Amino acid sequence: MKRKSIALLIALGVLSAFSGFAQGTAKQSLSVWMIAPVPSVQEVIDAWIKQNPDIDLKLTGFGSEDLKTQTRLALDAQKVPDIMMTNAGSTFWEYVDKGAAVDLTATAQKYGWLNRGDKSFFDVYRRDGKLYAVPVSGVTTWQTLYLNKKVFADNGIPYPKTIDDLIAASKQLKKKNIQMLAFGDKDGWPAIILLGDLFLQEGSFDLTTKINAGTLKWTNCAPMKNALNAIVKLAKNDVFMSGYLSSDHNLAIQAWAAGKTAALYNGSWWAGATQGTDLGFPIDVIPLPLVAAGDKLHGVQLSDDMCLFVTPGTKNLDAAYRFLDFMTDKPYQKAQNESQGGFPIYPGLIQDMKIDPIFKLDPIQSQLKLPATGIFFDHAFPIPVVEVMKTSIQLAMQGKISVDAALKQIQDKQDETLKK
């Protein structure tokens, strides 16, 4: 469900009297912050509320970037809800380091949560043998482009296999006043995800560990430089849709859905934002064009990227654990993954799901066999470094600084972070 910018506030209240729950009995109050659920997922949550009348659930839904901002503000003010949602990687560990997450190790064993997904999906939320969160989003794949087949067929354009092919196709379409690629980088993270995808065509993900340890410099990492050069090349040749720096990625998805671009770069969750894949034109899926012919994927950005953790001040732990149990169980996981074009980590659940044929195509399915990063590129580095990445990459895309200068700015922040 990676990064849907659909801002929505939901206040869920339930009546004080239900069948099987006596009036006057004190309810367990439970406040939850998470990505705003789409209607089909909300229905499953509503059903759980009716089944648990002793819990007064107050759920607040946010867009992805707003959730990050509000979470940090709440933690700084020490006014947090009982349960919070966040991304895997540096963002999550910042919260753990601040003492914001309860140790869930024993509870996970009690409820059997660890049997609901491969060990690797839980390990990204584990440190020193302790589990601090549970994965709830399922996985969605990137490293692809979604194409409007009619646009390519009508203009006699072959599907691009390399970045140079993509640029050539864009120039040909531009003569027909057709924009090439739906892409919105207002929030900075889409370009970092793209950087990660192109990086994995050039080098293995373990290089990020060396960068974070200080044994490899951004400025000396050839895969990083080649990947950023490719992004800048795309920007300079107007491959991205007009206004991409002032548009968030949800707007880009809507531009694609409206037939205003020939292609979309996005994780498979875009279908949740458009409420399906029937957009009025035929769609095809191709591998993300390569930085250079002959490149080969070393891995894939694949992560159960969104998790839930319980905050230490939670008074009604029983209610909190029951909600986490529900969020990791089949009904919620099925609804969530069907809504976002995702693949559940729950063993055997995929056989019970309705998966759009588009997401069964080889460019997506073949990725599931590759080594998985466990986290996305915009959470693979310390938060201060990621913030500098956002601005430096955008400046390079605009031609205001060179690729070398952008990498130096990022390395300077990396050095500063390592000294702390």
**Residue range of the domain that includes 272:** 144-299+382-419
**Residue 390 C-alpha from the chain's centroid:** 16
pLDDT at position 179 is: 97
Ramachandran area for residue 322 (φ above 0: left; ψ -120 to 50: alpha; else beta):
alpha
Q: Does residue 215 form part of some domain?
A: yes
Of 134, 40, 132, the residue nearest 326 (C-alpha): 134
If one counts every other C-beta atom within 10 angstroms of the C-beta of residue 327, the result is 25
If one counts every other C-beta atom within 10 angstroms of the C-beta of residue 209, the result is 12
Domain check: are 273 and 172 in the same one? yes
* Residue type present at position 129: G
Domain check: are 215 and 321 in the same one? no
pLDDT at position 19 is: 36
Q: Does residue 116 form part of some domain?
A: yes
pLDDT above 90 for 3: no
254 with 130: CB under 8 angstroms?
no
pLDDT above 80 for 293: yes
Domain check: are 166 and 280 in the same one? yes
pLDDT at position 347 is: 73
- pLDDT tens string 165-194: 999 999 999 999 999 999 999 999 999 999
Domain check: are 215 and 241 in the same one? yes
Q: Does residue 233 form part of some domain?
A: yes
Query: How is residue 278 written in tokens?
Result: 């029937």
Assign residue 94 the CATH number of its domain.
3.40.190.10
Domain check: are 88 and 125 in the same one? yes
Three-state DSSP state, 338: helix
Query: DSSP string of 172-240?
Result: HHHTTT-EEEE---TTSHHHHHHHHHHHHHHS-THHHHHHHHTSS-GGG-HHHHHHHHHHHHHHHTT-B
Q: How confident is the model over 117-144, as a mean pLDDT?
A: 90
What is the model's pTM? 0.83
Domain check: are 309 and 408 in the same one? no
The pLDDT-based confidence of 5 (bands split at 50, 70, 90) is very low
Structural domain count of the chain: 2
Q: Which residues contact 210 (CB under 8 A, 6 or more apart)?
A: 216
The rounded distance, in Å, linking the Cα atoms of 92 and 308 is: 10
pLDDT above 60 for 22: no
Domain check: are 206 and 351 in the same one? no
Q: Does residue 176 form part of some domain?
A: yes
- pLDDT tens string 46-70: 999 999 999 999 999 998 888 988 9
pLDDT at position 271 is: 85
User: Phi/psi of residue 343, each to 5°?
Assistant: -115, 125
Q: Does residue 160 form part of some domain?
A: yes
Domain check: are 275 and 325 in the same one? no
Specify the DSSP element, H or E, that contains 127. strand 126-127
Q: Does residue 375 form part of some domain?
A: no
Of 191, 192, 139, 118, the residue nearest 302 (C-alpha): 139
Q: Does residue 371 form part of some domain?
A: no
Domain check: are 232 and 350 in the same one? no
Q: Does residue 23 form part of some domain?
A: no
pLDDT above 60 for 354: yes
Share of the chain above pLDDT 90, in %: 71
- Lowest mean pLDDT segment, chosen from 12-26, 312-326, 364-378: 12-26
310 with 104: CB under 8 angstroms?
yes
* Residue located via tokens 């759980």: 48
Task: Please provide the average confidence, as pLDDT, over all residues in the chain.
Answer: 90
Domain check: are 242 and 214 in the same one? yes
Domain check: are 115 and 164 in the same one? no
Of 288, 289, 298, the residue nearest 201 (C-alpha): 298
- pLDDT tens string 60-106: 999 888 898 899 899 888 899 999 999 888 889 989 999 999 999 99
Beta bridge partners of 31: 58
Domain check: are 411 and 267 in the same one? yes
Q: How confident is the model over 330-359, as a mean pLDDT?
A: 85
* Residue type present at position 157: I
The rounded distance, in Å, linking the Cα atoms of 80 and 280 is: 44
The pLDDT-based confidence of 25 (bands split at 50, 70, 90) is low
